[in-house]
Amino acid sequence: MNYQNKKLSLTERKTHFKREVLDKQLNPSSNFDPTTFDPMDDNSDEYKFAKRERKDPPRELPTMGMKPKEILEGQMIGMYESKQDLYLLFANKFNELQKRIDELEKKLIN
């Protein structure tokens, strides 16, 4: 491992670290496709049944009827929320806007 060679400059060691370690950590699959961000290896058995296709999302995002936790005033949104709460916050607001758009479209058509 060249990045551990203390005879090299810090800049050279950082370059070697990025090439030898960081790239492998961020892209563990040898067949990683950066255009689709698909981390699965095409040759694996899991690829055949676990790969999710990319498609347009539905008009409303699924929330399973759940609401996000209340947001405390003065708190920076996202600082203490889980990924689920951030998703629910986004999805509920998105769905609310989608309903308003649908209502406006109906008014314009009629």
Structural domain count, the chain? 2
Q: Are residues 29 and 72 in the same domain?
A: no
Q: Are residues 17 and 43 in the same domain?
A: yes
3-class SS at 33? strand
Residue ranges making up the domain that contains 89: 59-110
In tens digits, the chain (110 residues) has pLDDT values of 788 888 989 998 888 888 777 767 666 666 666 666 666 666 667 677 677 777 888 899 999 999 988 877 776 777 778 889 899 999 999 999 999 999 999 999 98
| Terminal alpha carbon distance of the chain | 70
Q: Are residues 64 and 108 in the same domain?
A: yes
Q: Rounded to two decimals, what is the model's pTM?
A: 0.54
Residue closest to 41 by CA, chosen among 86, 33, 12: 33
Residue with tokens 């990924």: 83
